Each structure stands twice: as C-alpha cells, then as structure tokens.
Amino acid sequence: MVQFDLAARPLRELNAALHALPLNTNETHWEIINPDGKHAIAAGLDAPVTVEIKGNAGYYCAGMNQVATVVVHGNAGVGVAENMMSGRVHIRGDVSQSAGATGNGGLLIVEGNASGRCGISMKGIDIVVKGSIGPMSAFMAQAGNLVVLGDAGEALGDSIYEARLFVRGTVKSLGADCEEKTLGADERAILAGLLAEAESDASVDEFRLYGSARKLYHFHLDNADAY
C-alpha cells in the first residue's frame, strides 16, 4: 500500500502521481492521510486502483472518475463524483450539494445524507443515498438510477427525462413533469441489485418509483406555465 500524507506533501503532487499510473500498475492501493478538506482529491483517475481518504474531503473529490474505487472515510464537499464515468465512489459520511452531478456511469454510495441537487443532470450514473436528500435533486436527470433510503426534499426530479428515482421515505414535493410510476419487475430487479451493491438490507417493497410524465419533451401551449 502507498501512503500519502497531505500535511507533508502538496495535493498537486498526489494527483500527478495518481494520473501517471499505468493500467497495469502494481501500486493498486493508496491511502491518503490528513486530507483536511482539500479540494479535488483523487480527481480524474483512470487506473484500476483503490484510493482510501482517511478524513474529510473538499469540493469535487473523485470527479471524472474512471475505473478507480475511491472511499472517503468522512464527509465530502460540493460535487463529489461529478461527471463520474465508471468505477465506484463510497462516502462513509455526508455529502454537500450536487453529488454525482452529470455522472455518466459507475456507482456512488453515500452512507449519510446528501444536500440539494443530488444527481443533477445525471446521465447514467447509479447513486445510492442511505440517508435523505435535499431539494431539487435529480433536476434534469437524463438516465441512471437514484436510490434514497430516507426522505427527499422539494421539487424532486424537476424536468426529469428518463432516470429512475427510488425513494423509501417521504417526498416533500415533486418537480415539474415528475410523477409516481408503477414499480414493475424490471425496476424491482434494478433496485434489488443496487441495494445489494450498497450492502443494504432494505426491502424493495418499501420503495416508490418516480420518473418522467413525458409532457415536457415537446412544447405544448397547455403546459406553458411549466416551462
């Protein structure tokens, strides 16, 4: 295991070392100590390595992640796993706004709560939040799955496209063009798989599914007030 102390060495040096790793690297396990909320830790990774951050991370931790596994043993700031392409990002604490924003793939797991705009404009990422999420989450979510074991704030799924939103708790309000859907066999299988990936024993039967009413795809005068 490679240990990197951010109290003794600069963040730029850490990210440069991680970016230089070849796909066949033998240095597959990295431990980052004393992160102290620094921004963009382990951003832009594209090698099959595991990076464990022992403490709180700042903005855009694990952004643009490909292939790698990033585990934060603490909280993470704005935009964790932003524009993630593949791999796995696991936050042991809470996350701030825009977690998983514009994510194209991979899996983001949040053990605690997520603030507003979780999964905004998601494009294929899977997100599992074991706590609750804030307002305007999954705004303009295009594809992928958002699973929330707690509650959801106001305007969930506003202007949503084809993402699936699974919520076990209460939803304060739904955004424009978002509605409750029937939880069919395919959706139940997807949800069960994500719960297993996140090591949750929650029952599929406890969740409700929300998605697009598909009324905003094309302009219609009767829906002008919703645009």
Tens digits of residue pLDDT in 154-189: 999 999 999 999 999 999 999 999 999 999 999 999
Mean local confidence (pLDDT), 12-23: 96
Tokens encoding 219 = 């302009």
> What are the residue boundaries of the structural domains of the chain, listed by start?
2-226
- The pLDDT of residue 225 is 67
Residue 219: pLDDT band with limits 50, 70, 90: low
Average pLDDT over the chain reads: 96
Specify the pLDDT at position 223.
62
Is the pLDDT score of 227 beyond 90? no
Which 3-state string (H, E, C) describes the chain? Answer: CEEEECCCCCHHHHHHHHHCCCCCCCCCEEEEECCCCCCCCCCCCCCCCEEEEECCECCCCCCCCCCCEEEECCCECCCCCCCCCCCEEEECCCECCCCCCCCCCCEEEECCCECCCCCCCCEEEEEEECCCECCCCCCCCCEEEEEECCCECCCECCCCCCCEEEECCCECCECCCEEEECCCHHHHHHHHHHHHHCCCCCCHHHCEEEEECCCCCCCCHHHHHHC
As a whole number, mean pLDDT of residues 80-92 equals 98
The third-level CATH classification (topology) of the domain covering 2-226 is: Pectate Lyase C-like (2.160.20)
